[in-house]
Structure 1
Amino acid sequence: MDLTNPTTENTMYMIEQIKEKIRMVNVDAMRAENFDTDKYEDLHYIYEMVMKRKHISSNELEAIAAELGSLRR
């Protein structure tokens, strides 16, 4: 999958992968349709960072959730 293209499908894929990786409890807060492709690069950066990590601390999890919240419409 080529995630360099800012498409709705890529956004949906990255959101689902992030939710799975961080085991987010409130999945309704991270619905893919709440993210615009104009902030795609920021979302892609978060996705890359989360996928590279083997362990995410609670402080990092809070920061990721806050950043994702700022990207929502």
Structure 2
Amino acid sequence: MNLSEATQENLAFVINGLAEDLQVVNRSIMDAEDYDIRYYDQIKDLYDMVQMKGQLSVSEIQAVVGELGKYRKS
């Protein structure tokens, strides 16, 4: 899968991957439809960072989830 393109399918893949990596219990807050495709590059950067980092601390998880909140549709 080529994640360099900002498509709704890629956004869904990235959001679902983040939800899994961040061990989000309430998956309804991680619905790809709720995120603005205009921010795909920023969301993808978060995804890449989480993938490279591997294990995150609780405060890092909270920071990533907080950052994702900025990219939700109004």
* Residues paired across the two proteins, number: 73
Q: Does 1:57 align with 2:57?
A: yes
1:22-41 matched pairs, under 5 angstroms: 22-41=22-41
| Matched AA of 1:31 | D
Correspondence for 1:7: 7
4+ aligned runs moved over 2 Å, structure 1: none
**Percent identity for Structure 1 against Structure 2:** 33
Residues of 2 paired with 1:6 and 1:53: CA distance? 23
RMSD, aligned CA = 0.7
Q: TM-score, normalised by structure 2?
A: 0.94
Which ranges of structure 2 fall in alignment gaps of 5 or more residues? Answer: none
- Which structure 1 residue ranges, 5 or more long, are not aligned? none
* Matching residue's letter, 2:64: I
Q: Give me the TM-score of the superposition, normalised by structure 1.
A: 0.95
